[in-house]
Structure 1
Amino acid sequence: MTVWHEETGSGEPVVLLHSSVADSGMWDPQWKPLGERFRVIRLDFRGHGRTPCVADGPYTDAGDVADLLAALGLRQVRLVGSSYGGRVALELATGHPGLVSRLVLLNAGCGLPPTPDLEAFGTEEDRLIEAGDVGGAVDLNVRTWLGPEADEPVRARVAAMQRHAFEVQLAAEPEPERRRDPIDLTVVTAPTLVVTGGHDLPYFRESGRHLAEELPDATLLELDWAGHLPSLERPAEVTRLLSEFLP
């Protein structure tokens, strides 16, 4: 299966991987500015945005991204991953280290054991979904993952993306089996910018520090104003960071 994708611009390829609370639309603020300097590709993981929640068997999101890049004839790319998209980027860089020339991780997970804050979020989200309260689960995600810099239009946009993902995934029959590829930070040699948010959950701040310590070539940037989705909270500032680091 080929996941939905689109591209703009020309030059060195940059691939944008979205958070699980969103879809490729989260990159709208960066889309045109980055397209003026790079060939930019964004995609929707299965069950998000315009990619259906279907599979013929077990699959991984990193495998889907690798297949898409192969179909596009891309042998080396710059990867930008937000949250879950950052985890997928690390999985892809582990399995295909020569494919990734530069890496930006925005509040990315990397497989550390969950801390109490993340467990509490997951328990409450599961409770709401099991009770059929999709709206409550959407509100929980918006409150949790957006920091104080996010305005009301951004909150409404994230709510719409999360609601759509919930509805598509809950309607899937049968539910596809999504697996995760391994992460080995010792083989991810690409220069990496690790970004954390001062208003994010402690789990992701801890993950960022761990990544910066363990990756062979990483720089840690802590944004004291940011929540979990800084590219939506202060889009112009994150666009500038990407434009400075990716070339």
Structure 2
Amino acid sequence: MIVSHDVDGPADGPVVVLLHSSVADRRMWEPQWQPLIEAGFRVVRPDFRTCGDSPAGTAPYSDAGDVLDLLDHLGAQRAALVGSSYGGRIALQVAALHPERVSSLLLLCPARPGHEPSAELRKFGAAEDVFLDAGDLAGAAEFNARTWLGPDAGADAHALVRAMQLRNFEIGLTVTGSHELPEPEVDLAAITAATLVVGGAHDLLDFRDIAAELPSLIPGADGVELPWAGHFPSLERPAETTRLMLEFLARA
């Protein structure tokens, strides 16, 4: 199954794949979509399964495998991967297991394969479950927006995150059984792509720690913490984050 996706930009342009957070879907990249295309990139933004417009399917799958299948479908041998949160986790899997397919890697407040959640993150999950167990999907979506968006996020960003998360919750209710394959073990030292890891000073502790740690685990990786950012800098200060993305992709 080829997941639902958008693709645009010059046919011969360098390919950039935008991988969304599990709280979101491919709409989270709307502020970056047109600027990347205008900069000459061939831009791809998929929806992971059970997010946005991608169904779960009935055959065993992995999100990393879906990214590789999509690249094959588009005839792209190599691509830059930009991953937000869970999308960063998937980008790390692809880059570590198939380094020849990834030209550069930009990780925005990424999750990390094998990370054990802290007490703070488990507390968030328990609070979210209270809403979900009560059937209050809208309340759970609002709780996620309040938790993950930093202080600079405007009303439009909050509304979009609420809408994306609510849709993902609704899709989740229709899924019976999981066909997702177990997450593979990965060696981050196998990554050869030029890598930039971006953290947010207002993010939850787990993601601040991951962003601080990853540059020491990925050969040649650089890291930066944005003092104004929460978990979604691309939505909180979209113009500033777009500039950061374009500058890194141009260098890489």
- The question of a shared fold, defined as TM-score above 0.5 by the shorter chain, is answered with yes
Distance in 2, Cα, partners of 1:27 & 1:60:
22
Q: Deviations over 1:36-92 (max 9, x none)?
A: 120101100001111112232x32100111111111111110000000000000011
8 Å contact from structure 1 (residues 18, 83) kept in 2? yes
Q: 2:189 aligns with which of 183, 186, 189?
A: 186
Q: Give the residue type in structure 2 aligned to 1:84.
A: Y
Task: Summarize the Cα distance change of 1:178–1:167 in structure 2 as closer, same or farther, 3 Å threshold.
Answer: farther
Moved over 6 A (4+): none
What is the identity, as a one-letter code, of the residue corresponding to 1:8? D
Q: Deviations 1:177-221 (Å, cap 9, x if unpaired)?
A: 353233311101211010000100010000011101111011111
Following superposition of structure 1 onto structure 2, how do residues 93-172 of structure 1 map, counting pairs within 5 Å? 93-110=95-112, 111-172=114-175
TM-score for both structures, normalised by structure 1: 0.96
Number of residue-to-residue matches in the alignment: 246
Q: CA RMSD in A?
A: 1.2
| Structure 1 position 70 matched with structure 2 position 72 | yes
Question: Match of 1:3?
Answer: 3
- Stretches of structure 1 that go unaligned for 5 or more consecutive residues are none
In structure 2, what is the Cα distance between the partners aligned to 1:112 and 1:71?
Answer: 31
Mapped partners of 1:131, 1:177: distance in 2: 26
Partner secondary structure for residue 16 of structure 2:
strand
Q: Secondary structure at the match of 1:81?
A: strand
Q: Whole-Å Cα distance in 1 between the matches of residues 186 and 127 of structure 2? A: 27
Instruction: Give distance in 2, aligned partners of 1:5 and 1:98.
Output: 23
Name the CA shift for 1:6/1:218 in 2 (closer, same or farther; >3 Å).
same
Q: TM-score, normalised by structure 2?
A: 0.94
* SS of aligned partner of 1:158: helix
| Partners of 1:13 and 1:38 within 8 A in 2 | yes
The aligned amino acid for 1:199 is: H
Can you give the 5+ residue segments of structure 2 that lack an aligned partner in the other structure? none
Aligned to 1:215: 218
Name the counterpart of 2:15: 13
How far off its partner does 1:107 sit? 0.5
